[in-house]
Each structure stands twice: as C-alpha cells, then as structure tokens.
Chain A
Amino acid sequence: MVDTGYDEWIEAIGAGEGYYLDCPEDHGSLPPRRTCPHCGALELAERPLPESGTVETFSVVHVASPSFADDTPYATGVVDFGPVRLTGVIRGIEFDDLEVGTSVGVGVEESETTGEPVVVFRPR
C-alpha cells in the first residue's frame, strides 16, 4: 500500500533526515497534513526533527497483534522530541533499565514479524 506523505516521512527518518511539520505559530505535527491541528494554519513547513528525545511513557508488550507476534516481548513508547512526539518500538536497552526520561534517538528498522519498517528508538 502506498501512503503518500507517511511513506516519504518514514523513509526520511530511516535516512537520518527525519522531519516534522511546523506552522507559523510553531505548532509541531506530522504528515500527511494539510492544516495545523492546533490553530488551523495552512502554511506548514518541514523542519528537521531534533537529534534526540526523551521517553515520556513506555510499555513492554507481551500480547501483540498478528503483525507484531514474533516481536514479543517488545518495548513501545511515546518519545518527546520537543515540537512533536513520536510513537515507536524501543530497542537496545534492557527492559529493566528503561525508564521515563531515558534519552533516545530515532531510526527505522524492520518488524521481526513482517519485515515492515517500524519507527525504532535506541538509547543515545
């Protein structure tokens, strides 16, 4: 399936050139988007995603949907990058060492189950 806007975005993340959308009032959002969800502005510009973010919340998932069945158990989390937050899988850290506030970078790796691209955070 082709998802214009999202596909380009996840490719850019994978290439280390992640971006977010910024409106004239500096509200961050993610593509595909025609209007700022906060203020309705129509002028959205791509800005580089900050290098690192902090884990705002996370979970270790033991029961997954079929497309993540072979990935279990895996950690998933919401990471705060400042202007935007991203959701993804957290790898490269023992579950017991993971905590709210952990500093991570973002990339794209494959799902162990389907080989599909997944937003992945690793400590940095």
Chain B
Amino acid sequence: MTAVRVAGVGLTHFGRHPDRTGRDLFAEAALAAREDAGVPREDIEALHYGNFMGALAERQAHQGPLVAEAAGLSCPATRYEQACASAGVAARQGIKDIRNGENDVVLVGGMERMTNLETAGVTESLAIAADELYEVRAGITFPGAYALMARAYLSQFGGSREDLAHIASKNHHNAVNNEYAQYQREVTVDEALDSPPVAEPLHLFDACPITDGASALVLVSDEYAEEHDLDAPVAITGSGQGGDKMALQDREHLAQTPAATKAADEAYADAGRTSDDVDVAEVHDCFTIAEVLALESLGFYEPGEAIGAARRGETTRDGDRPVNLSGGLKAKGHPVGATGGSQLVEMTRLLRGDHPNSDVVADAEVGLTHNAGGTVASAVVHLLEVVN
C-alpha cells in the first residue's frame, strides 16, 4: 500500500485572536505547512478542511473554497464538520485519497474562531454537538455532558476529583515551553481543585479553554517524497474511525467510549501495531475525564484503571508513556475544528525532533493521536511512525 508521509506542518498560535478572520488564521497555518514541506503550490491536488461552528461564529458556511483561496490554492476544497473531530476526519480523508492513488499531495487541517463570541454564544454553539431534541432541550451543555460521563465513571470505578486535577496539572506543565499553546503556565493540583464549578463534578480547570486557531499539514505519497527528495521522516501508518449513538442516553456505556476503541482497533490493525508499541500519545482531553476515557479506549489501560495514571506518574513526561506533551486541549487550547490537525502537527514535530518536548521522547518511534467528536459519538485515531 502507498505510505503517507508528512511533508510539512503548520500551526497558528492557539489562543485569543478575536479580531482575526478564520480565513486569515487558516492561511497562516497553511502557508507555514507549505513552507515547511517545500512543495510547489500547484502540486497540491486537494484541500480537506475541518471546521465546526463557522456558520454561527462567522456567519460563514461553504468555507472550503474560501480558505483554499486564502491559502493560495486552486484545487478542490471540502469542509468536514464532525464537531470536535472535524480536522481528524478531514485528515483521514486526505490520507485515504493518497493511499487509494487518487492524489499524491494534499493539504489537510482545520480552523476554528471562537473568542469573537460571548461565552454564552460559545456555550450555545458547542451544545449543538449534542442531540438537540433529547439533550440540548434537557439543559445539557458540552461541559454538562462530560460531567455526566465523569459522574458515571467515578460512581462505577472510583477515583476522585484530585485524580482529575493531576491530569490538568500535568498537561499545563507540558505546555509551558510550547510556543503555540494558549496557556504556557503551570497549574497546581490545588489550584485546579479550588477553581469554580462549571458542571459538577467538573470545575473550570477540568475544562479546555475557548480558543481561536488553525492547523495544517502537507501530506504526500511515498513515491512523491522519493521523487522530490523530500525530508519527510514521519509517516502516517494507521488510520481508524469509530461511531456511537449520538445521545449519551442511547449508549450502552456512560463511562466508556467504544467509538474510540473501534477507531483505535482499526488504526492498530492498519499499521500492524498494538497499544504496547505506542511510545507517546496526543489524546482528546477537552475535559480531564476525557483523557481518562481515551486512555482506556485506546487499550493503554483496562476500564477503571486510567483515572490515576497522571497521579501515579505514568503519563507524565518522565513516565513510561507520556500523554499530551503538547499541553493537550487543556493547556494548548481547543479551537474545535482545528484540533485533530494540531494533534498530528504536534506528534509529527515530537517524532521529527523539532518540538520543544522532543527530548522527552528522544527514542520514540510510534506516536498515536486520538480526536473525538461531541461526547465521542465519533472518534478518529491515527498512528504515526518514524520511517526515515
């Protein structure tokens, strides 16, 4: 099968850019990825682009051709909307097109503009990732939905708010030297515990912030990389996607995310790898509990076991398998439609050796990214490997 190489990556700073248009944010990331790749503009055959709430936040739908133009591209451009997994599915489509021989060079990524809305507007916009009839009308917010999962988890398996606070603290620690991160500052366990409640048992520091930003990657076929003598030592070797019922009430499990398990199993099989082979992971920690659910779904832990992973030091930077060395959504920020792409960017840099935290995983060969939509009604998992 045709391998898919990451030829170039680009990010904007993740944070507050309320005055910058979405097209400008994406153009910055896309131009950075193009420059990093050194691929001629006219060789890019397609754009696969993730965005969730642009129609509400910017009154702008049909963003595919708009941001392609902003990025200086003249190729077919498609927007993918899969809530917080938008860029993950966009990237997956680009990967599939290279593997099936349709394209040799694609640009993938995503963008979200959120801070130009008031908090109430963002809360309302994010809530529509849940079931409108049976969840939103019942008072469910996005944090509220994860709070329901958190309570179900703590009730079924045990664990404490302190365990969750260790996850927040770990991810903030990792973000301190990441220049793209929204919060390059430490948060102590006590600070997290003492932050105000948002949707109990989740408090403010259990939650990712509201963020603007964009991510982009140039992906190329193995053949193209060889022909053009590209320096592209990281390949995407596995891709998987899983789905589940939309509303929590219709799921078999309230404290497990089988959509991520399906996505991971498919990605592992695709790459000929198992969870044991993964050296480092970027997982979708929109809330601290989400990191716990991810680690269990990905096969790193049995159900009920991951809650203490950060506290025990297993997923910290000096642990056996560091998780969210970028800072995660928690500290790096979560521009919803850009997030899945940013995880691939951060993992590529970690494996290439040009990430500020690369020295933490100097011998790492296999990395995993996990991008979830809504309350994990959808999930996308990718495996990245150093192939030289």
Contact = CB atoms under 8 A, between A and B. Distances in A.
Q: Do A and B come from one complex?
A: yes
Contacts of A89: 138-139
Query: How extensive is the interface on chain A, given as a class?
Result: 35 or more
B144 A59 contact: yes
A10 to B, nearest CB: 8
Contacts of B149: 57
Contacts of A63: 119, 123, 141, 143, 198-199
Contacts of B59: none
Given A58-B151, A63-B123, A76 B133 contact: no
**Most chain B CB within a 10 A radius of its CB, from A29, A56, A66, A119:** A56
Interface string A9-38: 000000000000000000001100000010
Interface in A27-68: 29-30, 37, 56-68
Nearest to A64: B141
Nearest to B125: A65
Contacts of B176: none
A85 B249 contact: yes
Nearest to B207: A63
B344 interface: no
Interface in B114-142: 119-121, 123-124, 127, 133-141
Contacts of B197: 60, 62
Contact of B124 (A65, A74, A84, A116): A65
Given A62-B199, A87-B134, A89-B138, A77 B148 contact: yes
Interface string B144-163: 10011111100100000000
A57 B155 contact: yes
**Most chain A CB within a 10 A radius of its CB, from B139, B141, B247:** B139
Nearest to A67: B124
A58 B120 CA distance: 22
Contacts of A66: 120-121, 123-124
B196 interface: yes
A100 interface: yes
A69 B120 contact: yes
A86 B135 CA distance: 9
Nearest to A63: B198
B141 A65 contact: yes
28 contacts: A30-B134, A37-B245, A59-B150, A61-B139, A61-B143, A61-B200, A63-B119, A63-B198, A63-B199, A65-B123, A65-B127, A65-B136, A65-B141, A71-B139, A77-B148, A78-B148, A85-B249, A85-B250, A86-B249, A87-B135, A87-B138, A87-B248, A88-B139, A89-B138, A100-B151, A118-B137, A118-B138, A119-B137
Interface of A: 3, 6, 29-30, 37, 56-69, 71, 74, 76-78, 84-89, 100, 111, 116, 118-119
